[in-house]
Amino acid sequence: MTVTEFILASSAGNAALISFALYMVVVFVLAGLANREQSGKSFLNEYFLGSRNLGMWAFAFTYAATSASGGSFMGFPSLIYTHGWVMALWIGGYIIVPLVAIGLIAKRLNQVARKSGSITVPELLRKRLGSDTVGTVATVLLVFFQFFFLLAQFKAGAKIMTTLLGDVAVYQSAVALVDQFTAPIPWVGAAEADYLLCLLVFAVSVVAYTAWGGFRAVVWTDMMQGVIMGLGVVILLGLALTQVGDLGKATEELSRQVPPRDGNATLIRAESAEPKTLAKGVWLELPAEEKRQPFIRLTQPVTFQAGQSAVTNVSVLEVRTSLQNERELKAIRAQITESDINATALSVKGYDYGDDKPGVYVSAPGPKAGSATGFLPIMLAISFFCFWPFAGAAQPSYMARQMAFKDIPTLRHSIIFVALYFSLIYFPLIIIFTCGRVLLPGWEMDADRVMPEMATFLTSEAGVPWLAGLLVAAPFAAVMSSVDSFLLLVSGSVVRDVYQRKNPTASEAQMKKVTYWTTVGVGALAMLAMLNPPQFLQDLIVFGSGGLGASFLMPVILALYWPKLTPRATVAGMLSGGGTMALFYLIGYLLNGKFSAYELLSLHPFIWSVLVSALVMMAVARGSKPVDADLVEKYFGEQNAR
């Protein structure tokens, strides 16, 4: 098939499948090339750090691509769509993230890692402080919190694929087969078959190329993925702005929107002997109010049996559109396909903050269903301003990259590149998905899918459905580039900090075998854990990254910049930081009955955890045995050792 034939003949679904297949082929070619690079080099140093010779483009792209994870392209759009412009404040710390998150420790970390010959963060802490206990505690915390982060990415990857391939005939047949096979299996059968299939394909692909090519494959694919992400955002922005027509008018429509209401209704139809099924997402129009036009959207499929004229207790989302919102009204009415079904006995509940309140989507604190103080009270905004730069600085996956750049000019130029790259990603994403509220209303029912749905919608409306494949590849690339890095990080910690410590004489062949199987094992575990995932992706991501930040921020900063830090203080700092984070989530779970953080004085647990970690470290360091003077001299110089 020629390119022209492909473009003309393909539907969005087939094009998506072909784009996806091409993308995967390139990924595996890169992994193969990376695998060939491993010959003749120290296996562990090459496999986990790419022989520490990353240049500017490689370092900058791998950093940016790993950072812009499934959270940025799935969870973040979902939050923008649900809460509006307040997300600019939520992500306010990103204004300065590249400088602080990279610059804070990168130079010292790279120097100390080189001097100590460390490949992983636990190894660096162990060697800097001369304590095996420090290394062991760091490994346990890293694997624990990083695993949560990994889980969220697996869910994101599978979700994107379900949307990407939803219309493909081969895929639908495969889903039916999987459903038939898995339905009787307890627990596994509870998951939706399409999600299950995509999770399996995603997990197998990403684990295979990561295990095969190691760090260099991850970096090379990150570069490609970084380009796709940047291109994807730029194209999406162009399409969204073109279709919304006038950004000012879209913002005005947004300012008149009020949050939807959740509840149930009774659906009625005229007597009919024919059975009828209404799919999830079907819209129905209700009688107009004085200033608003209410609609309901089904949040689950509904079936009328033959002769049945009413179905009660149907889950619905009520969307009340301002009569002045022409674009939004047009978008909803264009999707109404059922005119012979009526809804009665509507029983709905509005958001605790923002119900029937125009303006909430263009102001702070933003609407929220479960909180009377809104989505982002000012104290929480302050927390997140601290969270992103500092939790970012303390992510071991980024630290691994900071150990791998080849020289300081590479670092300096990379910080500039990442700053510009992030500026071109995050602010446009907010514009795109606030426009999404006007162009594609009612997706609060499955907000995690709004990114791929927007890509499909915008490209279809623009008459270029084949482009959906590339656009949806952007979040997919984001997820893959994070998953491969996290897989490598976890397997690196297990192999270098656990296996090699216990088997110091293990041959290179043995190390290779253990490394490959550990990567496969970690991936398989993550896949099993995500068969029935929690609803909100972002909660898992914030817990995972917050936990890593809380455990490692102060210990790593002080290990690099404070000669008087002691091993006991480091262990105490890691445990108290990570423990405080876990404790706040446990309290949140007990109070709210779901996986969420307890926010004491409206501050994010990360702030409390870092404070506790810092105070505990200072206190313990004063009363514990100082670190060996030779180690201090080695890492801080003679003058600073005194």
Catalog residues that contact other proteins under the rule CB under 8 A: 42, 45, 52, 85-86, 88-89, 92, 95-96, 98-100, 103-104, 107-108, 110-111, 114-117, 246-248, 250-252, 255, 357, 359-360, 362-365, 378, 381-382, 385, 389, 406-409, 411-413, 415-416, 419-420, 423, 427, 430-431, 560-561, 634-640
Task: Name which of 328 and 539 has its Cβ closer to other proteins.
Answer: 328
Asked if 449 and 443 touch (Cβ cutoff 8 Å), the reply is: yes
- Name 405's Cβ contacts closer than 8 Å, sequence gap at least 6: 52, 54, 55, 59, 106, 110, 411, 414
| CB 520, min distance to other proteins, A | 27
| CB 88, min distance to other proteins, A | 5
In 3-state terms the chain splits into helix, strand, coil percentages (rounded to 5) of 70, 10, 20
CA angle 471, 476, 479 (to 5 degrees): 140
* Cα 39 to Cα 46, 309, 485, 511, 573, distances in angstroms: 9, 71, 21, 14, 40
Output the DSSP codes for 256-294: H----EEEEEEEEE---SS-EEEPTT-EEE----SSEEE
Task: Name which of 276 and 357 has its Cβ closer to other proteins.
Answer: 357
Task: Name which of 248 and 623 has its Cβ closer to other proteins.
Answer: 248
Q: Which of 262, 220, 175 is nearest to 444 (CA)?
A: 262
Q: Which of 260, 241, 258, 259 is nearest to 249 (CA)?
A: 241
| CB 220, min distance to other proteins, A | 22
Task: Name which of 375 and 536 has its Cβ closer to other proteins.
Answer: 375
Q: Which of 203, 150, 227 is nearest to 548 (CA)?
A: 150
| CB 481, min distance to other proteins, A | 23
Structure tokens at 14: 């087939």
| CB 409, min distance to other proteins, A | 6
| CB 454, min distance to other proteins, A | 19
- DSSP tag of 536: -
Question: Phi-psi region for residue 49, left (φ > 0), alpha (ψ -120 to 50) or beta?
Answer: alpha
| CB 459, min distance to other proteins, A | 23
| CB 230, min distance to other proteins, A | 16
First CA to last CA across the chain, in angstroms?
72
Task: Name which of 141 and 380 has its Cβ closer to other proteins.
Answer: 380
Task: Name which of 110 and 613 has its Cβ closer to other proteins.
Answer: 110
| CB 377, min distance to other proteins, A | 9
Task: Name which of 416 and 615 has its Cβ closer to other proteins.
Answer: 416
* Cα 72 to Cα 65, 148, 456, 479, distances in angstroms: 10, 16, 18, 9
| CB 415, min distance to other proteins, A | 5
Q: How many whole angstroms separate alpha carbon 137 and alpha carbon 128?
A: 15
Task: Name which of 115 and 333 has its Cβ closer to other proteins.
Answer: 115
Structure tokens at 578: 């990570």
Q: How many whole angstroms separate alpha carbon 81 and alpha carbon 444?
A: 8
Task: Name which of 389 and 452 has its Cβ closer to other proteins.
Answer: 389
Task: Name which of 334 and 420 has its Cβ closer to other proteins.
Answer: 420
Task: Name which of 34 and 431 has its Cβ closer to other proteins.
Answer: 431
- Name 200's Cβ contacts closer than 8 Å, sequence gap at least 6: 527
| CB 431, min distance to other proteins, A | 7
**CB-hemisphere CA count at 13 Å for 404?**
31
| 73, 79, 80, 84: CA torsion to nearest 10 | 180
Asked if 200 and 527 touch (Cβ cutoff 8 Å), the reply is: yes
